[in-house]
Structure 1
Amino acid sequence: MTSGAKHGTGEIMLEHRDHDHDHCARDAIAHAEAISAAEGLRFTEQRRKVLAALAESHVPASAYEVIDRLAADGPRPAPVSVYRALEFLVEHGFAHRIESRNAYIACSRGPEGHDKPGHGAATVFLLCENCGAAGEASSAALTEALAAVTQAAGFAPSAPIIEIRGLCARCRKAG
């Protein structure tokens, strides 16, 4: 199962496992290349490969699952190089770390959703406890509500991310 957000609406769709990820991977990489070029970031071949490995599926992957994916197509990369690439991708908003799963997922929001962590819209992840799918969305209303709550408390959030666990529509329908 995969995820995809209808950009700008905050609505999330969870799609079938047989969903063609090639389109998602191409979009994620093209987005990272464009932002990196515009911001003068070094989007190295290793970072590109790690992002492509994440974009193969919308199910969050641990760093070692990313290593296994990369090793299937070539030499096994050193864990430190994959962790550094993941750190870069998360820092610049090209991927997200799903804290509760200690895993990573390529950002499914396009250029209109490009915000570095802590510098924009809150990100909401809907995590299916059955199939492992992760849907991503942002909501202007939620971002405003969180800003009001944190400002009232004198708190400066660095990563406005919310994880909601449950069952996706497909798994609920399957019983």
Structure 2
Amino acid sequence: MPERESAPITRPSVAAKLAQAQAIVEARRARLTPLRREVLSLILAAESPIGAYDLLARLRDRHGNAAPPTVYRALDFLLENGLIHRISRLAAFIACIGHAPGHAAQFLICRDCGEVAEIDAPDVITALKSAAAQRGFTIAGVTIEAEGVCAACQARTLSSKAESSET
């Protein structure tokens, strides 16, 4: 999946989300170091989920000496504090600021364009927890990744089919 260019890191929504993240981390008596803040800002500025090595490349463009362990430590901190999610199917990260750490994340992933949307479907989580409880299993965390085709790609496909049938 080709990565889209990220928006400028200084855009207001990124600045507001960084301020919110700072408050969350401080409330937990943790520290959003400059590197952690920069990694989070890169994730926030990306228009689609971004992989660790893409983050590393962007950090190297700015600083020249970033190493994989430093990026992974920053990502681990951001994950532990509920500021990002890891989307396993894409081996990439997406921001999620404002939810409790470990909330039940659910993602719709378009296999055509790579668009990722986080949804909130509490009935799905309730059903999953109920089924787990019937087996005596206690769920500690949930991330659901559903792959399919988004509405925009479906519309493009229908439009292409209509055009080809007219010719």
What is the distance in 2 between the residues matched to 1:166 and 1:24?
28
1:65 equivalent in alignment to 2:54: yes
Aligned position for 1:116: 101
Q: Which of 83, 99, 106 is the equivalent residue of 1:94?
A: 83
**In the TM superposition, what whole-angstrom CA distance separates every residue of 1:41-70 from its partner, at most 9, and x where no partner exists?**
111111111111111224111110111122
Q: Aligned-pair distance for 1:20?
A: 8.3
2:101 counterpart letter in structure 1: K
Secondary structure (helix, strand or coil) at the match of 1:97 reads: strand
What is the distance in 1 between the residues matched to 2:7 and 2:62?
21
Conserved? CA contact 1:58–1:106, under 8 Å: no
Aligned position for 1:157: 139
Cα distance change on mapping 1:97 and 1:18 into 2, 3 Å: closer
For structure 1, the residue ranges without an aligned partner over 5 or more in a row are 1-16
1:70 counterpart letter in structure 2: L
**In the TM superposition, what whole-angstrom CA distance separates every residue of 1:100-141 from its partner, at most 9, and x where no partner exists?**
12111111xx53xx1212xx4x21111111221211122332
1:143 equivalent in alignment to 2:125: yes
Structure-to-structure mapping, 1:44-83, within 5 angstroms: 44-83=33-72
Cα distance change on mapping 1:79 and 1:147 into 2, 3 Å: same
Give the TM-score, by structure 1 length. Answer: 0.77
For structure 2, the residue ranges without an aligned partner over 5 or more in a row are 158-167
1:78 counterpart letter in structure 2: A
Root-mean-square deviation (CA), in Å? Answer: 2.3
Give the TM-score, by structure 2 length. Answer: 0.80
Larger radius of gyration: 2
Indicate the structure whose relative CO is greater, using CA pairs within 8 Å and at least 6 residues apart.
Answer: 1
What is the distance in 2 between the residues matched to 1:61 and 1:106?
10
More helix by share: 2
More strand by share: 1
Secondary structure (helix, strand or coil) at the match of 1:72 reads: helix
Report the count of equivalent residues: 153
Conserved? CA contact 1:67–1:76, under 8 Å: no
Conserved? CA contact 2:7–2:47, under 8 Å: no
Identity of aligned residues (%): 34
